[in-house]
Amino acid sequence: MQQPNINKIFKIFAENNPAPTTELIYGSDFELLIAVILSAQATDISVNKATEHLFKVAATPQRILDLGLVGLKKYIKTIGLYNSKADNIIKACKIIIENFAGQVPRTRAELESLPGVGRKTANVVLNTAFGEHTIAVDTHIFRVANRVGLAHGDTPLAVELQLEQVIPKKYLKDAHHWLILHGRYICKARKPLCSECAIFDLCEYSGKMK
Q: pTM higher than 0.95 for the full model?
A: no
Cβ(189)–Cβ(143) below 8 Å: yes
Mean residue pLDDT of the chain comes to: 94
Question: Any idea which residues carry the catalytic annotation?
Answer: 120, 138
Beta-strand runs (E) in the chain: none
In angstroms, rounded to a whole number, what is the distance separating the alpha carbons of residues 185 and 178? 11
**Higher pLDDT among residues 72 and 1, named by residue:** 72
Mean pLDDT of the region 109-133: 96
Nearest to 114 by CA among 173, 30, 56: 30
What are the pLDDT digits (tens) for 2-37?
999 999 999 999 999 999 999 999 999 999 999 999
Cβ(33)–Cβ(45) below 8 Å: no
pLDDT band at 1; cut points 50, 70, 90: confident
In angstroms, rounded to a whole number, what is the distance separating the alpha carbons of residues 71 and 79? 15
**Which segments of 79-155 does DSSP mark as H helices, in order?**
82-100, 108-112, 119-128, 139-148
pLDDT at 210 over 70: no
What are the pLDDT digits (tens) for 122-138?
999 999 999 999 999 99
Residue 15 gets the label, from left (phi > 0), alpha (psi -120 to 50) or beta, of alpha
pLDDT at 83 over 60: yes
Sign of CA dihedral 100, 102, 103, 107: positive
| pLDDT of amino acid 209 | 53
Domains in the chain, ordered, with CATH? 3-21+134-209 (1.10.1670.10), 29-128 (1.10.340.30)
Mean pLDDT of the region 203-210: 71
DSSP letter assigned to residue 200 = G
What are the pLDDT digits (tens) for 32-49?
999 999 998 899 999 999
| pLDDT of amino acid 205 | 81
pLDDT band at 60; cut points 50, 70, 90: very high
In angstroms, rounded to a whole number, what is the distance separating the alpha carbons of residues 151 and 164? 10
pLDDT at 207 over 80: no
